[in-house]
Chains A and B, each alone.
Chain A
């Protein structure tokens, strides 16, 4: 079946450090891939997405590249800020109507100054 596996957290970094959060997926067909972010006390919001192999999604200094050969969609940022502290969810879409988006378990990032 379809699934998403994220690295377990929490991830603790100092300000300006490099961030990688690993995400791998299992899917049939050609899924779309997403990263959502949840700031404390808020709902999830879309951070970036990629709809086909080799696409790179980017937003707010975050990037992720859809790698079909390694079935991965790792999230990266070159220099994190305290305000990036949040929970990050990798998600997969099969593109079908009436089926649920498949979320990973979430990775908590804590950035200290």
Chain B
């Protein structure tokens, strides 16, 4: 029974396209996150939602738009994809917005831009 699940696992698409990544958690957590991991494994926080409210919004191009329809789901829509968007995107969740709470990660979505 997967705790944090992301779909799709792999996404290969052309530059300029629009795509979405979905995330769901069944842990009953209040807080969810999107991270971007580059080819050197560096992890960068993009967004965080607590009970459907945006609480972390790092410096990310406005082509990236998160949406949280309820506290168990956090989706990421990306417009006009660029070569530099190629990365692994991780969704995570934690019990609350306090950052001492352990975070539970999905297995990632590997996005490749052709």
Contact = CB atoms under 8 A, between A and B. Distances in A.
Interface in A29-48: 32, 34, 38, 41-46
A49 B104 CA distance: 14
A16 B13 CA distance: 43
A37 B19 CA distance: 29
Interface in A63-113: 87, 89, 93-101, 103, 105-106, 108
A35 to B, nearest CB: 11
Contact of B97 (A32, A51, A97, A105): A97
Contacts of A98: 48, 50, 55-56, 97
Interface in B34-92: 40-43, 45, 48, 50, 55-56, 58, 90, 92
B98 A106 contact: no
Contact of B100 (A43, A51, A108): A51
Q: What class of interface size applies to chain B in its complex with A?
A: 20 to 34
A105 B42 contact: yes
B96 interface: yes
Contact of A89 (B40, B43, B99, B108): B43
Contacts of A45: 104-105
Nearest to A92: B99
A73 to B, nearest CB: 14
A113 B92 CA distance: 33
Contact of A43 (B42, B45, B58, B90): B90
A107 to B, nearest CB: 9
B99 A43 contact: no
A104 to B, nearest CB: 9
A98 B108 CA distance: 23
Interchain residue pairs A-B with the least CB separation, the first 8: A43-B105, A100-B45, A98-B55, A93-B100, A97-B97, A106-B41, A93-B99, A32-B100
